[in-house]
Structures are given as structure tokens and as C-alpha cells.
Amino acid sequence: MLDEQEHPALADILERMRVVALPLHTRFRGQTVRELALIEGPEGWTEFSPFPEYDDVESAAWLRAALEFGWRPAPPLVRTSIPVNATLPAVPAADVERVLAHYDGCRTVKVKVAERGQTLVDDVDRIARVRELVGPEGRIRLDANGGWNLDEAEHAVHRLAEFDLEYLEQPCASVDELAELRRRIGYLGIPVAADESVRKADDPLAVARAGAADLLVVKAQPLGGLRRALAVVAEAGLPAVISSALESSVGIALGAHLAAALPELPYDCGLATVDLFETDVVAPARSLRARGGSITVERPVPDAGLLERLRPALAREQWWRDRVTRVHALL
Ligand SMILES: O=C(O)CCC(=O)C1=CC=C[C@@H](O)[C@@H]1C(=O)O
Ligand SMILES: [Mg+2]
């Protein structure tokens, strides 16, 4: 057993680590392949997967999260299955049906909007198609990834309110803009959620303290792990939507454990992103894909054959080993 502050030795981590590259069936965040590192810890498999452009300092929280999940027992869980939303990249309206067909039984769809190079008309067309497919009972939430300025966001909300929106995730980049937008659109009753203002902020609680969001989108890896994420949610005093960072089933299990440990879970969680991959690292029957609109809370074990088949080029493997070596030194 490790003490609370102790981390496993680098050599131990590297010895237990495997790197894979998972192809996506639909481009997401500009990516068509997701590279990630899997580590077999004494408590089970765990994942370290900061996006390639993230620097070592930002990646340190992701490594802490991975090591905590692999080396420390999980906190007590209060549920065994987690309702999840479909995640729809900023695809043309004509592709919406094809992408949504990957998610089994999800009543909620998170639609990406404000994509660079696109217009509000593209968003309207995509959302209209989603509403057509999910019917009036379906729930639609939007995620702009901070892509609108204040006036653009206000204008977009006026245009999109007719689609009956569950909430608006990170419509603008800064906490001040979120607070002002909330004030401007309060009369419409559409909640504002903070994502980047939690996971990329020096202080993840600043957005809650400023009264700039109605709910928080919480991701376990970027926040530094299960315990830290639970503390952030408890201190913020706001409802939380647990979301993925586009992990394999192994990393999704960390999000699922976080969602399962929360006393309240009022929203469907953004944990169905394995459905964006062509292949997962575990056998299809064990994959944490949406089934009947939920995923189960378990710790999937990668399939040895898949780990071999999904190995990237040697140079990429070495890149991940070098990255873990540098980031481990920062812990
Ligand atoms: O919340 C979801 O439905 C899925 C997760 C998701 O959307 C994201 C995962 C990884 C990176 C992010 O750009 C993105 C997000 O912004 O929430
Ligand atoms: Mg988001």
C-alpha cells in the first residue's frame, strides 16, 4: 500500500504500461485517432490520456488521477449503473442519424456547436435534425467549448431556444462572460454549465463562487482524480454532470466510479464516448458503451490481442513513455 502522498515508482509504471491508438468513426475535437496509455495497477487497469497538445504541467493532474485509480481503492459507491448522453460532434445535419445510431437507448444528446469554420445556420440545422430524431421527450444540451463571445452567445441562445434546451455548456470562454450571459438570458430559463472553466482553471471553484454557472461539468482525469473531483463537487454545491475526456473503456470506468460515488446525479452523464470509437481496448461484450441509455460501473480488463493490434508506431510509444517520465518528475 502507498501512503496518501506517495506515488508508484516510474520504473514500475513504465513496466505496466501499454500505449494504444484508437480510430474514431467521426472526427471529434479535430481528431480521428485517439492515443492513450493504459497501466495495470494493483487495484485494476487505469488510463493516462491527456490530449497530445497538453503540456507536462497540465498533464500532471491527469497522471495523479490515473495513479490514484490504479493504486488506491475506490471510495464507497452508491449506484451500479450510470445514465449517459449521446455525444454528437459538429457534423452536418445529413450525418446526424448515422452518428446517433451508435448510441443505444440514450434519451439525451449533447450537440457540439460553435465549431470553428462553421456558422449558426450549421448549428440550427444540426440541432433541428436531432430534435426531429429524438422527439419532444428527448433532451438536448449544447456544448460550445467557449466558442462564442458574449453577444454571439446571446444571439445564438435566442435563435436556438425554440429547440427546448436542457442546458448550455461553456457558451463563452471566461467566467466573467458566463456570469454576464447568465444574467442576460436568465429570463429564458436555460441553465448554463461550466466545463473548461472547471477543468482548465487554476481554481476549479472560481466559477461556482462567481455565480457564473447553474451546474458543473466534471471530468475526473483533468481534475486530478476521484477524490479531488468529489471534493470540488461537494464544495461547489452545484449539480454535476460527470463527463469523459474521450477515454477508452478503462478511463471511462474512472468517470463511472466518480458518478457512482456522488450522492446526487440529477443529469445524464457524458460518459458514452466509447461509442465514438471504431474499436475499444476491451472485448465488445465488456466495453463501457451505452446499453439501454446507461453504462455499468465496473473495471474493464483490456484484451491482450486488442492491445497488440492497436499499438501505434514505435516512435509514438516512445513519445508516451517520455511524456510519462517527464510528468512523473513533476508529481
Ligand atoms: O460530455 C460529453 O458528452 C462527452 C465528452 C466531451 O464532450 C468532451 C470530451 C473530451 C474533450 C472535450 O472537448 C469534450 C467537452 O468539451 O466536453
Ligand atoms: Mg465541454
CA distances from 310 to 5, 233, 254, 286 (A): 34, 35, 21, 17
Q: What is the CATH number of domain 81-302?
A: 3.20.20.120
- Distance, in Å, from the CA atom of 63 to the CA atom of 25, rounded to the nearest integer, reads 27
Assigned CATH topology for domain 10-74+305-328? Enolase-like; domain 1 (3.30.390)
Expressed in angstroms and rounded, the spacing between residue 268 Cα and the centre of ligand 1 is 13
What is the model's pTM?
A: 0.97
Predicted complex ipTM: 0.97
What mean pLDDT do residues 171-189 have? 98
Query: Is ligand 1 within 6 A of the CB of residue 275?
Result: no
pLDDT at residue 67, as a whole number: 98
Region 22-39: what's the mean pLDDT?
96
225-247 per-position pLDDT tens digit = 999 999 999 999 999 999 999 99
Residues contacting 157, CB < 8 A, separation 6+: 168, 171, 181, 185, 188, 190
Question: Average pLDDT in the 274-298 region?
Answer: 97
276 Cβ inside 6 Å of ligand 1: no
Residue 243 Cα: closest atom of ligand 1: 1
State the distance from the centre of ligand 1 to the C-alpha of 80, rounded, in angstroms. 23
HEC secondary structure over 240-292: EEEECCCCCHHHHHHHHHHHHHCCCCCCCEECCHHHHECCCCCCHHHCCCCEC
Q: What residues are annotated to the active site?
A: 112, 219
Can you say how many angstroms the Cα of residue 136 is from the centroid of all Cα atoms in its chain? 26
Question: Ligand 1: which residue has its CA nearest to atom 12?
Answer: 245
Mean per-residue pLDDT, 30-42: 97
Q: How far apart are CA 317 and CA 91, in angstroms?
A: 31
- Distance, in Å, from the CA atom of 49 to the CA atom of 61, rounded to the nearest integer, reads 11
Average pLDDT over residues 185-200: 97
Q: Is the pLDDT of residue 212 over 70?
A: yes
What pLDDT, in 10s, does the model give residues 88-113? 999 999 999 999 999 999 999 999 99
- Ranges for all domains in the chain classified under CATH 3.30.390.10: 10-74+305-328
C-alpha 11 – ligand 1 centre gap (Å): 32
Mutate to test the pocket of ligand 1, among 53, 54, 143 (most ligand atoms within 8 A of CB): 143
Question: In the chain, what percentage of residues exceed pLDDT 70?
Answer: 98
Q: Length of the chain in residues, anyone?
A: 331
* Mean pLDDT, the chain, whole residue set: 97
Please check the confidence at residue 311 and state whether its pLDDT lies above 80. Answer: yes
Ligand 2 centroid to 35 CA: how many Å? 20
* pLDDT of res. 5: 67
Mean pLDDT of 186-206: 96
Single out the residue of 172, 170, 191, 166 nearest to residue 268, CA to CA. 166
Is the pLDDT assigned to residue 287 strictly greater than 90?
yes
Evaluate if residue 38 carries a pLDDT over 70: yes
**pLDDT recorded at residue 6:** 85
Q: Is residue 143 a known part of a binding site?
A: yes
Place of cell 448522453: 85
* Numbered ranges of CATH 3.20.20.120 in the chain: 81-302
Greatest Cα pair distance in the chain: 56
**Beta bridge mates, 240:** 216
Q: How far apart are CA 308 and CA 315, in angstroms?
A: 16
Instruction: Give the span between the Cα atoms of 253 and 34, in whole angstroms.
Output: 17
Residue nearest to atom 10 of ligand 1 (CA): 245
DSSP letters spanning 19-61: EEEEEEEEEETTEEEEEEEEEEETTEEEEE---TT--HHHHHH
Parallel/antiparallel/unpaired status of strands 215-218 and 108-112: unpaired
pLDDT digits (tens, 9 = 90+) for 51-68: 999 999 999 999 999 999
Give the per-residue pLDDT at 4. Answer: 62
Residue 3 has pLDDT above 80, yes or no: no
Q: Which residue CA neighbors atom 16 of ligand 1 most closely? A: 145
Q: Residue 2: pLDDT above 90? A: no
Q: Is the pLDDT of residue 272 over 80?
A: yes
